[in-house]
Amino acid sequence: MVDRNKHDAPVLVIGLGRFGAATAGQLARLDREVLVIDTNEELVQKWAERVTHAVQADAKNIDALRQIGAQDFSVAVCAVGSSVEASVLIAANLVDLKIPQIWAKAISQSHGKILERIGANHVIYPEAEAGERVAHLVSGRMLDYIQFDDDFALVKMYPPKPIRGLNLTESGVRSKHNVTVVGVKSPGKPFTYATADTIVSNHDLIIVSGTTKDLEKFAALGT
């Protein structure tokens, strides 16, 4: 396979359920070369026009994967979740084929643990992660929430009352509230980087980073 850096390497996506379809679709929109594999012929036909290659095959079968050339990929996503047995066998095949970057979807913590033990480099828990995100959003104070580690997140929100009309140094966003305003968006304008002199007003949107606890406290200051 052509030697490319990992940011534009072709991606192998196995399973065209909701998760795999979303992954493959977004990769195609990003103009990435994608090979999708699914046992379901109808799905494969449907996807043939959207992605570079779509092949009907059972990824539990390592010889079938070899024939397709799966071993030449440097990135693979195992998006089969509902059958833990299939997911585990597929992940093991991807490891045996020495694919360096293996992403795998897990439906439970124990499923994830097995995938990690087998050698999947990145285990994703889409439902658990979406549920945790929603828990932060339902409070209504945060408009978007992305958690990066167990304890660090980036939040989109309207500025809490105590920091409005002041610049970021005066309002003590960092010194008092222990969070960092990363970007600001005034109505009708794009997001810009925030500096110490940025004055945040009522209708602005802000992107704030910090620990989960500090962000929850900051958001709770109220609008």
Rounded least distance, CB 34 to ligand ADP, Å: 15
Nearer to ligand ADP, 38 or 204 (CB): 38
Among 36, 43, 124, 206, binds ligand ADP (CB under 6 A): 43
Q: Is 19 in the site for ligand ADP (CB under 6 A)?
A: yes
Q: Is 37 in the site for ligand ADP (CB under 6 A)?
A: yes
By Cβ distance, which residue is nearest to ligand ADP? 17
Q: Is 108 in the site for ligand ADP (CB under 6 A)?
A: no
Among 9, 16, 163, 184, binds ligand ADP (CB under 6 A): 16
Nearer to ligand ADP, 17 or 183 (CB): 17
| Number of residues counted as binding ligand ADP (CB under 6 A) | 20
Nearer to ligand ADP, 28 or 86 (CB): 86
Nearer to ligand ADP, 18 or 117 (CB): 18
Pick from 18, 167, 20, 25: which is nearest to 104 by CA?
Answer: 20
Rounded least distance, CB 108 to ligand ADP, Å: 13
Contact footprint for ligand ADP (CB under 6 A): 14-19, 37-40, 43, 58-60, 80-83, 86, 90
